[in-house]
A and B are shown apart, each in its own frame.
Chain A
C-alpha cells in the first residue's frame, strides 16, 4: 500500500547548522509529495510540495527534491534558526485521491 517512512526524531541542532530529515515513500501510482510543519499550538501547515519526479519544492529556505529512483523526498535547510523548531511531517497523496498519507513526524529543536 501507499506509505511514508520518516526519519525518527527528535533532532536537536545548534543555530546555523545544516538540517536533513529523511523521508522515503512507497506508492502504487505517481504521488505528489509534501512536507508539512507544525509549530507549537498550531495546525499542520504546508511547507513545500513537489508533484512529479525531479521537481524541487522550496520555501523559507527549506528544500526537498522528488527522487523517483530512490523514492525519497528528503528535507534540507542550509542554516537553521531557533524559529524553525517544530514538528515536520512528510506526506504523499495519489493524484485524484482525497487523502494524505503521513509519516510519524520529526521534532526539530534548534538551540541558540
Chain B
C-alpha cells in the first residue's frame, strides 16, 4: 500500500541553524500538508500546498518557515533560523483530489533544537 515517507526520522540542530525536513507524498496525491506536535501538546496545522503554491497557512507559519516541491516527488519544509521552541514532531500529509479530508500521514520527523 502506498505511504507517505519522511526523512530524517530525527534531526538535531543548533539554535539559529537552518533545517530542511523532507517528505515524499503518495505519488498521485495533489494536496500536501505540514503539521507539528510539540511534546505534550496538540497536533497543529502549519501549512497546506496545492498546485505549487501555499493554499492555507496558520499563524505559526511565519517568515522563518517555507515549503517547496522541488521536483515531482519531494515536499520540503524549511526552517531558516531555528529556535528552541521549534523543537517538535513534524508530520507531513497528503491527499488526492477526490477524497476530501482523508489525509494520509507520514511517520514524522522529530526535530530537536539545542
Q: Which residues of A contact B (CB under 8 A)?
A: 4, 32, 34, 36, 41-46, 49, 89, 91, 93, 95, 97-105
CB-defined contacts of A100 to chain B, threshold 8 Å: 35, 43, 45, 101, 103
Partner of B105, one of A4, A36, A93: A36
Contact between chains at A43 and B101 (CB < 8 Å): no
Q: Give Cα A42 to B101, complex, Å.
A: 20
Contact between chains at B40 and A104 (CB < 8 Å): yes
Partner of A99, one of B40, B56, B104: B56
Q: Which residue of A lies closest to B3 (CB)?
A: A43
Q: Mark B1-31, 1 if CB is under 8 A from A, else 0.
A: 0011010000000000000000000000001
Number of residues of chain B lying within 8 A (CB) of chain A: 28
Q: Give Cα A11 to B106, complex, Å.
A: 24
Q: Which residue of B lies closest to A44 (CB)?
A: B105
Q: A43-B4, A104-B42 are in contact. List 13 more A-B contacts (CB 8 A).
A: A32-B101, A43-B6, A43-B106, A44-B43, A44-B93, A98-B48, A99-B33, A99-B58, A100-B45, A100-B103, A102-B35, A102-B44, A104-B43
Q: Give Cα A36 to B107, complex, Å.
A: 13
Q: Which residue of A lies closest to B108 (CB)?
A: A43
Q: Give Cα A104 to B42, complex, Å.
A: 4
Interface check B102, CB cutoff 8 A: yes
Contact between chains at B42 and A99 (CB < 8 Å): no
